[in-house]
A and B are shown apart, each in its own frame.
Chain A
Amino acid sequence: MSTLTVFKAKKIITMNPANPVATHVAVQEGKILAAGTEAEIVGWGEHILDETFAEKIIMPGFIEGHCHLMAGGIWQFIYLGYQDRVDPDGKHWPGVKTLDDVLARLKEAEANLKEDEPLVAWGFDPIFLMDRRLDKNDLDSVSNTRSVAVVHSNFHLMTVNSAALKLANYVADMGVDGIALGDDGTPNGELQEMAAMFPIMRRLNINLRELGRSAGSITDFGKVCNRVGVTTAADLINDLPDEDVAVMTDLTDAKEYPIRLLSMLNGLAQTADETRERALELAMKSTDKLRLGGVKIVTDGSIQGFTARVRWPGHYNGAPNGIWNIVPEQLNELVSVLNEAGVQMHIHTNGDEAIEAALDALEIAKTKNNRPDLRHVLQHCQMADRAQFRKMSRLGVCANLFSNHLYYFGDKHYELTIGPERALRMDACQSAIDYDVTFTIHSDAPVTPMAPLFTAWCAVNRLTESGRVLGEYEKITVEEALEAITLGAASTLQMDHEVGSIEVGKWADFAVLEDDPLNVSPENLKDVRVWGTVLSGDLFKIP
């Protein structure tokens, strides 16, 4: 037998109801041999007692069920967001609160660049800088000669300086949607939607898809996870060509890579039959630390971008209904094909009409071929009403709710996108519990920052940025939220027999905390400090 290590902790929150709290956990061959009191553990024989965590709290490693590898690579650009963030190397980036802050940060970054490098920034959100829009003149004050591009937090807008406009020949009114004009009738630097951004991005070599692909990005992604206690994370859309799978396999195989990574195949890039074949082929390539075989299907857009598919009565401000990425009729076919073959689906649905279409497709598929071995997941699932939760329950479909939205976009949803009644019931964790729908909650990083304890805080407190409580009824308890970010997420990823709780036989994957989340007030859940993680028994202290 290999070495037996016993970690002693101040408290171990196991998520195993038969043994909810422990003080010791024994680890062998990367797995949990036993959790309990010292007396209950010693019977396993000779062991090394590790007291690193004697004053700390151990929980099952947190699981981020919906994020993107780009959350690592995006940091090669300068952060310009309103909220504070921490980069993969632990550098704290204070949020920029005024236009002066924005320009000061850009100037500082500009001074460090080589002569021919463009200055690219991300995370900027104009809705928090109310005085006026950022424009080319502001950015010209950063540089007249170097191209400056500020990508907004939603990735659908960017603001550039005159040097960048000139690159793409945007010098006069071209009558193109998305090239915003200033008072003088010339482009003011703001570019809306990809068509207008494409010429600049192409010339400055900004390729968002590439940001998730490089070895450096995947390494940085691991660091991002480690900093917030995450030991398993799901990258929720990827084209997964063989060469990328090879890179991911090598990186994750290494002992020093701190997480188990799941990556879901883009289900809209090929025919239904080809997607099925590729998914089954990818599943065979899974390892202990890289899990493949799931498929992501994007049905609609986003609520804040007014591109979600919303049922009657539509948007609160009267904006037209959003977009489909797949014809509902085609969705029915794709879902049936994948379900029959035993491929797990993660279906992106924000609006309630998209949720309805996805549930209809799943109902058809499951009526033809009930596969109790499969758990399909509605991702985001933000506008589901209680009838839809009842239908999820009947169909055995899981939900991954976007709780971070309550804080980041909740005010906008209340005032603008869907109005008070539907905003108060969005991301309805309590309804999921009421109808016994297996669920988790997520960040969609880098759209919002990854931090499961923050996401749990959102689900517990349902507070918006401005301090409004967005629906008292749908609040859940701290215990329930902690289960959502561990065992709940593990279930939606069909890994609940391997991770998500601290009990015999599972991987020794832990989140190690300085404070007890069950012993702080619920309003302070997000402030619980993270020491680092343990993966397969190996320690990953935050550097």
Chain B
Amino acid sequence: MTTRETPLPLTVLSGFLGAGKTTLVNHLLRHANGQKILVLVNDFGNLPIDRDLIEAENGNLLTLANGCACCSMGGDLFEAFVTALEFHPPPDQLLIEASGVAEPARIANYARAEPDLRLNAIVTVVDGENFLSSDRDHRVEHVVEEQISSAHLLLLNKCDKINDTQKEEVHRQLQQLNPFTSVIEMVNGQVPTDLVFDMDTTSRSSRDVAVDLHDHGDIFESWSYQTDQAFQLTDLRNILENLPPTILRFKGIFLAKPDLERWTIHKVGSLIDVARYTGAASPRQRSKFVAIATKDSGIETLLDMAFSDLVA
């Protein structure tokens, strides 16, 4: 058994058949931003990768030129996690594309229990076009609801195919099923990779801790902050617990009071995770934080104020 230095972040990608998971996977692999993403696919073996991305193909494993890989997992989660944790070279991110009937929270539980895994987020893609349709199969209703209510990020796809009244109704129903998560509208699986994955802020040069929003700046905004200051765990947790759902993602690596050990903190949707940092030490240890919010959420003011209160 291989043990990891830092836990492998797990993202569970859920959504019913035809919601647009495949398109999103392709988009994320195209914009991996230097991270080695391992994608495990469950919908009975269909590897959803555009041909032009593939460098090599070996049985049910596809290797991509950018260091990412995609593998079909045959429905057996136990085997899937063994495969991911033994995978060589060790990936930076693990994305499991759950089958249409999987309850994502069950998959996410593996990451909560396994020390070598960390739950990054349950990301659920909702088919905006089909969501309101009355001919949905009642036998799978509870699965669709569970996928929405357990999500930390809700991506509403195919928004261009419905009118504003319909869109409003979808938003209303989603909000009812999951009041803690804001809904991001998406067309063709286009969302910033940094929003889906938890990018390790320490892996970039210290000058650039900002989030890479690519050309999504019209929909999202980001915030970042660096300081030599150390923090109380409870203070930071407090800030995160009180953030509005418009702040989609928050992450940080920081010096903790009183002993100045390094800790990490993540928030996405209702999921908050605070853990001791186990990766390699870097020469200059500062506290760094970044956040992504929907446009015009007032993120700057909100977080600047929260932090200045702490530092003061």
Contact = CB atoms under 8 A, between A and B. Distances in A.
Contact of A176 (B45, B76, B109): B109
Given A177-B109, A327-B17, A321 B142 contact: yes
B267 to A, nearest CB: 15
Contact of A196 (B60, B101, B103, B113): B113
B74 A239 contact: yes
Nearest to B107: A195
B79 interface: yes
B143 interface: yes
Contacts of B105: 177
A169 B115 contact: yes
B106 A195 contact: yes
Interface stretch (A120-128, A199-207, A407-415, A469-477): A199-207
A205 B106 CA distance: 22
Contact of B45 (A175, A274, A324, A325): A274
A334 B16 CA distance: 17
Contacts of A519: none
Nearest to B143: A324
B39 to A, nearest CB: 16
A179 B16 CA distance: 29
Interface string A308-335: 0100000000001101111111100010
B215 interface: no
B78 A194 contact: yes
A336 to B, nearest CB: 14
B74 A168 contact: no
B44 A324 contact: no
Contacts of A208: 78
Contacts of A269: 44-45, 72, 74-76
Most buried by A among B74, B77, B112: B112
B112 A195 contact: yes
A5 B1 CA distance: 55
A272 interface: yes
Given A269-B75, A325-B75, A168 B142 contact: no
B101 A271 contact: no
A521 interface: no
Contacts of A178: 109, 113
Interface in B109-162: 109-110, 112-115, 137, 139-140, 142-143
B149 to A, nearest CB: 13
B44 A268 contact: yes
A203 B3 CA distance: 10
A377 B143 CA distance: 27
Contact of B1 (A202, A271, A320, A323): A202
A188 interface: no
Interface in B58-88: 60, 72, 74-79, 81-82, 85
A168 B75 contact: no
Most buried by A among B44, B45, B99, B140: B44
B91 interface: no
A52 interface: no
Contacts of A194: 77-78, 110
A323 B139 CA distance: 10
A497 interface: no
Contacts of A523: none
Given A202-B1, A330-B100, A174 B113 contact: yes
Nearest to B106: A195
Interface string B1-21: 100000000000000110000
Contact of A272 (B16, B17, B44): B44
Contacts of A174: 112-113
B45 A271 contact: yes
Contacts of A168: 113-115
B47 to A, nearest CB: 9
Contacts of B114: 168, 198-199, 202
B46 interface: yes
A30 B286 CA distance: 80
A168 B110 CA distance: 12
B106 A193 contact: yes
A186 to B, nearest CB: 15
Nearest to B60: A270
A326 to B, nearest CB: 7
A477 B133 CA distance: 51
A268 B43 CA distance: 8
A266 interface: yes
Nearest to A272: B44
B139 A270 contact: no
Contacts of B101: 323-327
Contacts of A209: 76, 78-79
Nearest to A322: B142
Given A169-B115, A309-B139, A357-B139, A268 B75 contact: yes
Given A198-B113, A268-B75, A327-B140, 11 more contacts: A176-B113, A195-B107, A209-B79, A239-B74, A268-B44, A271-B44, A274-B45, A324-B139, A325-B75, A328-B139, A357-B139
Interface of A: 168-170, 174-179, 193-196, 198-199, 201-203, 205, 207-209, 239, 266, 268-272, 274-275, 309, 320-321, 323-330, 334, 353, 357
Interface of B: 1, 16-17, 44-46, 60, 72, 74-79, 81-82, 85, 99-101, 103, 105-107, 109-110, 112-115, 137, 139-140, 142-143
7 contacts: A176-B113, A195-B106, A195-B113, A269-B76, A325-B75, A328-B139, A330-B17
| CB-based closest 8 A-B pairs | A269-B74, A270-B45, A195-B109, A324-B101, A176-B112, A195-B110, A199-B114, A271-B45
